[in-house]
Structure formats: C-alpha cells, structure tokens
Structure 1
C-alpha cells in the first residue's frame, strides 16, 4: 500500500517549509515550485527535481498526469501527501496538487547564447518578484532573445516569479549579473543600449530597434542608476499623458519590445 505523508514533522515537510522564505532557499541552494503548469515548464527548461509533493485531491487531473509521467522518466522522488500537508508546503494562497523541490539553477551571462540579431531586455533592481515574472513572460511572448536581471533585488526563482511568468522563468534564456558586468557584456557583444527614463526627450517610436538592441528598465520607485546615463546609452521616453509618471515594468516592457518586434517584422517583409 502506498505510504501517504500526513505528519507536519516529517523531515521532507520541515525541509520544504524552510524554502518558503529567501533565507531558507539561499541556505539550502534550493527552490520551491508550485503547480502542475509551472513544474512542467521547469522540466522543459531542464530543471531536475529532487522531490515532488503530490495530492490528488487538487489540480487538473490531466495536467497532473502529464507531470507525473514526465517525472517518472527522472530519478525524482514523488511523495504522496494529505491535503493538509500540501497546503502547508505550498507557497501563497492557492492549493496546487504538485509542489516540487529542485536545486537552484545558475543563470550566468557567459552561458547566454544569442542570435545574430539579438533583442535583450535588462531589468535593473526591480524589487517585486511578480513584476520580474510578468516582465519575463512579456519578453518570452515578444520573442526577446534573453532577459538579464541586473543588480537583482529579489530572488529570481521566488515562487511568485515563477507564477507570474507562467513558468517561463525556467524556459526563457536568462542571465543574472551586476549592472556593471551587464553593461560590459552588452558592449562586448556590440549591442546598442536604450534606457527608458522619465527625463528622456527622445520618443521610443523615433528609435531604430532593428539591429542588436538591449532595452533597459529600472524599478518604478527609483528608476535607473547612473551607469545607464553614459554617452553610449540612448535615453528613451514613453509618453505619460495622465497623472501617473510611470508604467508598471512589465507594461513598459510590452510597449518597447513589441515596438521592436513591429520594426523587425516590417524589415523582414521588405
């Protein structure tokens, strides 16, 4: 008979609970992934799960079966648990059927493989995991070559990032680095840099995004650091016609990346 974990003092459960905050994730070098869709995307992105908690009373049965079949081809330990336990180990308000534990992946600039004409999104010091995740989702949808998190103020693999990105945090090319190293890397790769700034005078629609380009966005609270005020960086403006002086970072990313995509598609047709 299959053993079902029901005790909150079980060693697997107590270890998973420590992953609910960043300190615990950093100490263990592990991440926690909630939900069948997110687990499936993580598997597609090459994430190797150490163990997965499973409760059949929740989630979409077909999605869960798909994940379970994929996990069966790996050495991952699947732990069947009670509803109480899955609620305990899950992150956030929802109760998924599956919660996975994996070793934290590394995302280094030197590992990024760019296309001949890259379109890169740089997020500097964006604080909220949900905003980072939503921007990654936007970049993925717009066909950006990569997303670089520069001077990150949040855990890139926070469960809220995973959820907001619809799991694309695991499948889309990503890099983590300091702003200084990011600027150097972009320069070495011959990528023209555009920085969205509230004090910029040039409209984004007047720019040429058809070549190798990086679009840099900062936090809504403090904007971009002086590094992105250099002479070789082109400041661009998104006109704000109402009371608010800025867009959510994922909304700004959508406007700029799709403008770049529009220009590139026009060039491909001519």
Structure 2
C-alpha cells in the first residue's frame, strides 16, 4: 500500500490521533489509539479494525517491527510515515517501537461471550484505575480465565493505560462491559457459583471449590463492592493479612484468586 509522509506536528490527522488520549474523544470518535508492536499485533490477532498507521522509519529497525509492518501493509489501513518529532507527539510514554495505530472501537457485549462448560469467570465492578484493570486482564489471561466482565466501568475499556498494562490481552472477545443487573442475570443463567472478595468476612479464599463453574467478583479499592453483590447466593471470601494493612491491591488479590482456581483445576 502507498505510504504518505507527514512532517508537521500540526497535521490534522496527527492532531485527531493525539486527541484519542482523552476518554471523551475516544467516545466521540468511536476510535482508540494503540502503541507498541506486541499490543498492535494482538489487536490484529483479535480482529480489531485498524484504520490508520503512523510509523517512524528510523525507529522501525527490528525484525519484529518489520513483520508487523508487513501485516499492516496487507490491511486496509491508511499508512503514514512520520518524522521522529511527529512520532514523539503521537507515542504514549517511552515507546521506541516506531509504530502507532488508530482502530475503530469494537462492540464488546456480554451477550456474545462464549461460555464453556464449567467456566471460570472474572467480574470487575467499578474499578477506577485503568492500570489495575489491565493488570487483572493480564493475570486472567495467564491463569486461563474464560471471560472477564467489567461492570459499570469507571474507565473506558481501551484506555491506553489499560492496553499497556494488559499487554494487549484487553482485545480478547471474551472481555466485555455490562451493568450489574445484566451480569447477575447471565451468571445465574450460566449456573455458576458466585464468590466475592471481601476483606471483612471470615471465610478464607482457600475454603472454596474452584473446580466447579465459578465467577470471582472484585470491587474497587476505594469503595469495595456495591450492594448488588450482597446477596444470599454470593459467598464472601478474604485473603489472610498478617501485617497492618487490611487488604491487598485489587490486581494482586485477583491474581491470587485466579491462580488458586488454576491450581485446583489442574
């Protein structure tokens, strides 16, 4: 595909791309920005529709980058070569891969999740920090969690911090957003046991059978879980705390619970 050259930071396409660092602009344009060879590759693997590519030739030296550019050249995306100065404006943080892309925001709906028999599901309610969401998605991917439902998200799914912290696992079609009511309805329809991480309860997380179909529910660090998860069929569990802190970072708690489930299932 033919490539165009952009040498000015004031180029309109560059300015529109940079705006996608802002959540309101991502919502308005229905697009988002992806940095990093690994993350862009995983977006392509997940079928994300890439519409624009900005690359800085002087930085695109590694074989991995060249392989990615071949894939992008085969797509329908508009490709622009930019100067180092322009790329510095486009890139998120200290990124030296030399490639940034713009993609259309995909629909991620709870009704299209593919739930296997005996599933392991993670539910994240009202998490505020995109880095925590991304870290949990990365742990969920590593531990073989079948689906992640983000309930009443306080940050949009494709925040650059979430993408980076998740190392691109956020692009999975098994990750979606939903309301508490529709999430509870589907979990009960799927017939899974429900457990919620709550530091104030007595039951330890190791006292649960994770080998059954189960959903692990985690709330925000600031406010915990809402009353939607205070129901008779939802078992509260806690991690033992030996020091003066009363709880762990939510992403750490998630990793412990996910890997306990993996241990039991193996």
**What interval of TM-score do these two structures reach, taking the shorter chain for normalisation?**
over 0.9
Question: How is 1:58-73 mapped onto 2 (pairs within 5 angstroms)?
Answer: 58=59, 61-73=62-74
Counterpart in the other structure of 1:115 = 116
| Secondary structure of the corresponding residue to residue 193 of structure 1 | strand
Counterpart in the other structure of 1:240 = 241
- State the distance in 2 between where 1:217 and 1:2 align: 46
TM-score normalised by length of structure 1: 0.94
Counterpart in the other structure of 1:17 = 18
CA shift at 1:172, angstroms? Answer: 5.8
Gaps of 5+ in 2: none
Question: How is 1:130-209 mapped onto 2 (pairs within 5 angstroms)?
Answer: 130-171=131-172, 173-209=174-210
Structure-2 change in CA distance of 1:60 and 1:217 (3 Å): farther
Counterpart in the other structure of 1:87 = 88
- State the distance in 1 between where 2:152 and 2:97 align: 32
Counterpart in the other structure of 1:268 = none
CA shift at 1:95, angstroms? Answer: 4.4
| Secondary structure of the corresponding residue to residue 57 of structure 1 | helix
- State the distance in 2 between where 1:60 and 1:212 align: 46
For the Cα contact (< 8 Å) 1:124–1:216, is it kept in 2?
yes
Gaps of 5+ in 1: 266-270
Structure-2 change in CA distance of 1:60 and 1:249 (3 Å): farther
- State the distance in 2 between where 1:238 and 1:2 align: 54
CA shift at 1:72, angstroms? Answer: 2.1
TM-score normalised by length of structure 2: 0.96
CA shift at 1:116, angstroms? Answer: 0.7
Structure-2 change in CA distance of 1:143 and 1:172 (3 Å): farther
Q: CA RMSD in A?
A: 1.4
Counterpart in the other structure of 2:106 = 105
- State the distance in 2 between where 1:2 and 1:238 align: 54
Aligned residues: 265
